[in-house]
Structures are given as C-alpha cells and as structure tokens.
Copies of this chain bind each other. A is one copy, B any other.
Amino acid sequence: MSENTQVLLRRRPVGEPVEADFEVVHTPIPTPGPGEVLVRAHYLSLDPYMRGRMSDAKSYAKSVELGEGMEGATVGEVVASHDPRFAPGDLVAGGKGWQRFCAMPGDALRKVDTSIAPLSAYTGLLGMPGLTAWVGLQDIGQPKPGETVMVSAATGAVGQVVGQIAKARGARVVGIAGGQAKCDFAVKELGFDACLDHRGDLGAQLDAACPDGVDVYWENVGGAVQAAVFPRFRDFGRMVMCGMIAQYNTAPGADTSGAAAGPNLGAVVRKRLRIQGFIVFDSGWQRYAQFLAEMDGLIRAGRMRWKEDVVDGLENAPRAFIGMLRGENFGKLVVKV
C-alpha cells in the first residue's frame, strides 16, 4: 500500500451517470501538514446526495470541480498524526473523499466507539444517514404513539433508521421499497408493521395498509411514490423531505419549469399539512452526542437492526453508486476500500 487511490470526477453526467464520468487514479500518499492527520480509509460511504455534487446546478453545497476527487465520507484509522488528540491506530469517522488516504485537520474527525457498533456502521447507522433520520424525526416528523409513519426507500440507509426510531417511539410504521425481498426484510428484520412494493399498484396497497391515512411521510424518493402518498395524508400530517432520488438524474434545478410538476397544494390548507425539507449538514452534527446516546440505547436494547450492502474495492465505487441511483442496493451502500 505505497500509493493512494482516488476517484475523480471526470465529466458532469447528463442524466444517469456512467462509469466514464469517473476516473480512478493512483497518486502519492499525501503528507500531513502541521495539525493534520493522515487517515487510511477502511470504508467509504456512498450516498444519493453525491449526485448533486456532480452537477454544476446551484444547490446548497458547492459542486465538485472537474478533475477533483469525488466528495464523500470515510471511516478508517489514523496512520500518522500531527494533532495531539489523535494517535496512529485510532479508529475515526469523518475522513474525506473517495480515496484510500487523506490528510486533513483533526477538527473534522471523530473517534468512534466500536463497542456500540462495528466501524462500518459509522458510515450509516451511526453516521450521516442515521443522524439524518434522527434529526428529521426530532424536528419535523415528530411521530406520536399510535400515528402512522410511512417511510419510502425503507431499506435504504436513512429509511431503516427512520422506521426503527419511529417504532421505538410507539408509531405504526409502513415502509415502501422496491421488490419483495426488501419488503420482507423491512417487516421481518426491521420490525416494520408492513412494507409496500412500489413496483405493484401502490395506491391500492396504501389504501389497504393505511385505510385511515398517513400522519408522517418520510420522503426519500419523489416521483410516483410521492404522488401516491400525498393524497392520503391525515389532518395535521407532516412530510419530512429528505431527498427525491427519483429525480436526481433528471432535474438539475428541480424547481424550474422543466421539472415534473408536484401535487396541488390545496390539501396543505384543508388538512393543515406541514411539508418541510432539511439538510443534516446544516446543524445536525452539533447534536451528534444526543443522537448517539439514543442510538446506543436502542442498539443495546436490541431494537435497532442494520443492513449494509458492502462493495469490495474503491475501483468499484462508481458502478455501485450508479446502481444505487437505480435502487439496486439492498441496505446501506458502503465500499470496503
């Protein structure tokens, strides 16, 4: 392991990304500067938000420039440190980029406790996706005992955690996923009360599973799933908007006239709905300790299961990422670096 491996953005994708939009390169291992830490990644997290970074459309975060390394977060171990808080061998989260080695200031790194969950879980269950689930439920979803919570992309990185936290808070949880295997997993392993296959007649399934409607809808996907769920809100329903993966490949500026229309908002008044988007990067990490404490409790109580879809080798990250945007992953997508 005498050199670094990095995945660069070679070309801005038009529509669905293809492997040729990425470039895998081998470069010298970086040298940490004063106050910096050299981290060797064990796992790279692949997440839908990265599609946005590949586009030069205006968004909440700046784009990756052409020829630059793809943006991402890794977990791994400290190899060398010029920061007194870290020593070689420490396991850390917060490494940067689709790359094996990174040199970075210690401030953005967090030591991880593998007595709670294995290292790879800090890319998902105890990382950005898990924190996303918790923040969105705390701030917007606020499920109450007995309410019905609907979770799209139910077996994805965020959806798994949303459903299980909502269950722990006494809600009835119904997932939506693509295919029977994912639906079975959501019910049998994650403990969802039901899970609907969006490849079937979703409207009819929704009517059967939620005859009284939906109190909280966790929106990960958009498109036809959103259109099916939206008319089924109960009064005072909340729609937590975390992402709309169904349109990431089609709509650079999704509020422009070129984007697919959304639901008529008349029901927002009549049913007193609240539709709210959030981005965990804004202020979610400032509450990480509170999140981790709750998750630790749920994990120790046996109330939090977790499925990862592990892809071997950084050179396979582009293909895995492209597949994720099609819904091909089953569980949180991670690359073993």
Chain A residues with a Cβ under 8 A of chain B: 52, 59-60, 219, 222, 226, 230-231, 235, 241-244, 247, 251, 254-256, 259-279, 282
Q: Output the nearest chain B residue to A232 by Cβ-Cβ distance.
A: B255
Q: Is the interface of A mostly helix, strand, loop or mixed?
A: loop
18 A-B pairs within 8 Å (CB atoms) are namely: A52-B270, A60-B270, A219-B265, A222-B265, A243-B269, A244-B266, A254-B264, A254-B270, A255-B270, A262-B263, A269-B278, A271-B277, A272-B277, A273-B277, A274-B277, A275-B275, A275-B276, A276-B276
Task: Assess whether B266 is in contact with A263, with CB atoms less than 8 Å apart.
Answer: no
Besides A254-B267, A262-B263, A273-B275, 17 other A-B contacts (C-beta < 8 A): A52-B270, A60-B270, A230-B255, A241-B269, A247-B264, A259-B264, A261-B264, A267-B277, A268-B275, A268-B277, A270-B279, A271-B277, A273-B276, A274-B274, A274-B275, A275-B276, A276-B276
Assembled-state Cα–Cα distance A200/B325 (Å): 42
The count of identical subunits is 2
Choice from B247, B267, B274 contacting A255 with Cβ under 8 Å: B267
Assembled-state Cα–Cα distance A226/B235 (Å): 22
Cβ contacts under 8 Å, A241 to chain B: 265, 268-269
Task: Assess whether B266 is in contact with A222, with CB atoms less than 8 Å apart.
Answer: yes
Task: Assess whether A279 is in contact with B274, with CB atoms less than 8 Å apart.
Answer: no
Cβ contacts under 8 Å, A270 to chain B: 52, 59-60, 254-255, 277, 279
Choice from B231, B272, B273, B279 contacting A282 with Cβ under 8 Å: B272
Assembled-state Cα–Cα distance A271/B244 (Å): 13
Q: Output the nearest chain B residue to A279 by Cβ-Cβ distance.
A: B272
